[in-house]
Homo-oligomer: A and B are copies of this chain.
Amino acid sequence: MSLLTSSVWSPISGGITTPNGFLAAGISAGLKPSGKKDLALLYAPDGACCSGTFTQSVTRAYCVDLCIDRLKASEGKIRAVVINSGHANACTGSRGKIDSEIITHELAKRLGLFDEEVLICSTGVIGEPIPVEKVNTHLDYLIKSLGKEAYHDAANAILTTDLQVKQIAYQAVLGGRRISIGGMAKGSGMIHPSMATMLSYITCDVGIDHILWSQMIKRVAESSFNSITVDGDTSTNDTFLAFASGSELDARYLSTLEEGLHLTAQYLAKAIARDGEGANCLLEIKVKGAQSDLDAHVMARTVASSSLVKTAIHGSDPNWGRIIAALGRAGIFFNINDVNLWIGPYEIFSNGKPLDFDRQIVSNFMKARLNGKYLIDDLITICVRVGTGKGSSTAWGCDLSDQYVRINADYTT
């Protein structure tokens, strides 16, 4: 995958602190036995406006409740987010609430903020409470580490089983004004959005009305974090927070701003799918010709989550029957005689009939990409036209490998 660009937005070196006024920190507070960085802080300028989307899980962690409640109470006036990795603090009973409140209270006190202006996100093993004392004794050091250059530390500190740091920055000039968007994310397993099992943060240095921003962020989440899957499991802690801060943007540039947010979020979402546990490629499923975008979305997601499609990809096997079977069980009606299917540039199935294609050539095409470099030449695209409708959608996933099983068979014990 080459980096997405548009006529307006260009990727630049940077991350979550690239937009004006945002600071970040990432330190080791001794939460992970490995000694790796495990505590991050994102600090937003006064006047920043924050919106978010969250896991739909019935068993969501208390930190998610806290984020939702405080975003609502403050109408988005959030100034700081602390993120701990290693302990999900989900399903920990009543102490889940108490621990989240203690940490945000201690942080707010030190930053001169109200408790309601501070959020907390946790990621790690479910059922594991946060070592609160360890976190609290490191808060002064965390705050002291805040800086413009520490975006990489923060993006590192939020990781768990991830192999790759996930961050990006885009820049554009809108109405003579230089605008930046920055983002960071984590996620590798328990990834099946609504939301994906992930934490994701985006910052932006323009001001925008809170309601408009919230609507924009919901649409951005749909085409990015809600369009990826690694293993079909939705997490208890999924959180996507997006901050806008600065002088207001002229209304005529709002759609261009949204385009930049889509680019940023899609990059992060694909980076998560590609870094799926045990993954060796980024799998892209495009569905066209459906009755509606929603129909296409459901079909694309179903194919991207099929274990049989994912193992076929892992085996460089152009086993198109599994793709058709996955489409067939998505619960959306279509006529098989209208179906065309491509793997990469190769047409495999046309108007309901298998074509006489060279299996070896297509298999070689897949095999080369399975050994491709992370987010550079590791993309396998499956495109399906299911009719003549105007609905289309894209979903992202990854191959299913023996390594996925090993990682997850051995995770806690």
List A residues at the B interface (Cβ < 8 Å).
Answer: 56-60, 88, 90-94, 125-127, 189-190, 192, 231-236, 305-308, 311-312, 314-322, 324-330, 332-334, 336, 349, 352-354, 359, 363, 400-402, 404-406, 408-413
Contacts and interface: CB of A to CB of B under 8 A. Distances in A.
Contact of A405 (B311, B353, B363): B311
Q: Which of A334, A404, A412 has the most CB of B within 10 A?
A: A412
Contacts of A409: 311-312, 314-315, 317
Contacts of A314: 405, 409
Q: Which of A231, A232, A327, A328 has the most CB of B within 10 A?
A: A328
A311 B408 contact: yes
A336 B59 contact: yes
A333 B56 CA distance: 11
Nearest to A350: B93
Interface SS of A by simple majority = loop
A97 to B, nearest CB: 12
Given A60-B328, A233-B308, A307-B232, A363 B413 contact: yes
A401 to B, nearest CB: 6
A412 B322 CA distance: 11
A126 B321 contact: yes
B412 A317 contact: yes
Given A58-B332, A88-B321, A318-B413, 8 more contacts: A59-B327, A90-B321, A91-B349, A93-B354, A126-B320, A189-B308, A232-B306, A319-B413
Contacts of A311: 404-405, 408-409
A233 B189 CA distance: 20
A325 B197 CA distance: 11
